Amino acid sequence: MVLHNRVSAEELRKRLLSETFKRVTVSFYQYAKIEDPQAFRDQLYESLFKLGVFGRIYVAHEGINAQISVPEHHFEAFRDTLYAIDFLNGIRLNIAVDDDGKSFFVLKIKVREKIVADGISDPTFDMANRGKYVDAKGFNELTNDPETVIVDMRNHYEFEVGHFDGAIEVPSDTFRDQLPMAVDMLKDQKDKNIIMYCTGGIRCEKASAYMLHHGFKNVFHLEGGIIEYTNKARQQGLPIKFKGKNFVFDDRLGERISEDIISQCHQCGEPCDTHTNCLNDGCHLLFIQCESCAKKYNGCCSDECKEVYALPEEERAALRKGVEKGLMFNKSRRKRIK
């Protein structure tokens, strides 16, 4: 069996759109010791491929991190497959809050050095010494205390479109930079209750361990992140303290949590929280764009990119030569672009 995709992205997208069944977008992670990540990766790929699972999964010696799309009629078989793996038995599966079933179109499982790039090289750092889990009810109760410090461990472009009331932003677009920044920002509040949160729990769990490693005392992290919090709060009829959109790293680029629009179009400044990528492949800037500006700039971030995008493909390809790739999520801007 071939353990990687060999079909073009265009064809895969066509197949996805032609599917007649529903899909469920799911995320999960687990910090655990994996002796042979490559062998584990290959075995997992074979199992999930047979079930028609799409998505992005990272495997490392420290565990697994997954964002995937599962055919609804295969969901039980998928869950049984995971639960048959000792360290994944009973693992929490975060079901997407706002899902159109078109979040992924291919299965990619990659072996990485770490499941979250953290920049930590201290050999004494121990993920076993992590903060205390807090669920939706506990989060609401703790955050009713004005002395509780709420820390958002996501990137700027995620925070920009949605966050919890009163949350502190750690202003960076890389998690590895945020960890020491959070320690420095909160160094005078080591004895306060500190709650850390992120999208699905993986970053804030590691961040809680990092804070404890640096002498903080009362550190909590939101179980299952924003996704699990929202689902549980809705099920239990609890007030939802998150405002706006939850940014997600798939084709949806966001799931609606509340109707609040707390950000602005980066081009005209009108209220808007719709992320998009510049259609000029030589740029592919991630930015916020309203419908009016999408028409005006033809889905591009600037007049310059609009002009390039209008060129024949041969000319665009020539211009792209030598352009640095891989900037899709890191290349974000805070100022308006015109």
Q: pLDDT tens per residue, the chain (338 residues)? A: 556 677 777 887 888 888 899 999 999 999 999 999 999 999 999 999 999 999 999 999 999 999 999 999 999 999 999 999 999 999 999 999 888 878 899 999 999 999 999 999 999 998 989 999 999 999 999 999 999 999 999 999 999 999 999 999 999 889 999 999 999 999 999 989 999 999 999 999 999 999 999 999 999 999 999 999 999 999 999 999 999 999 998 888 999 999 999 999 999 999 999 999 999 988 889 999 999 999 999 999 999 999 999 999 888 888 777 555 434 333 444 443 44
pLDDT at 323: 58
Neighbours of 87 (CB within 10 A): 12
Contact 55, 107 (CB under 8 A): yes
From CA 192, how far away is CA 271, in angstroms rounded?
35
- What dihedral do alpha carbons 207, 210, 214, 215 form, nearest 10°? 70
pLDDT at 322: 59
Which residue in the block uniquely carries the two structure tokens 């609804």?
72
Q: Is 278 a catalytic residue?
A: no
Contact 99, 255 (CB under 8 A): yes
Contact 242, 224 (CB under 8 A): no
Which residue in the block uniquely carries the two structure tokens 């490559």?
38
The whole-model pTM stands at 0.83
Contact 115, 64 (CB under 8 A): yes
**How would you label 42-68 residue by residue, b for 16+ Cβ within 10 Å and e otherwise?**
bebbebbbeebbbbbbbbbebbbbbbb
pLDDT at 313: 86
pLDDT at 319: 78
Contact 52, 78 (CB under 8 A): no
pLDDT at 1: 58
From CA 287, how far away is CA 331, in angstroms rounded?
9
Catalytic residue among 198, 283, 293, 300: 198
pLDDT at 336: 39
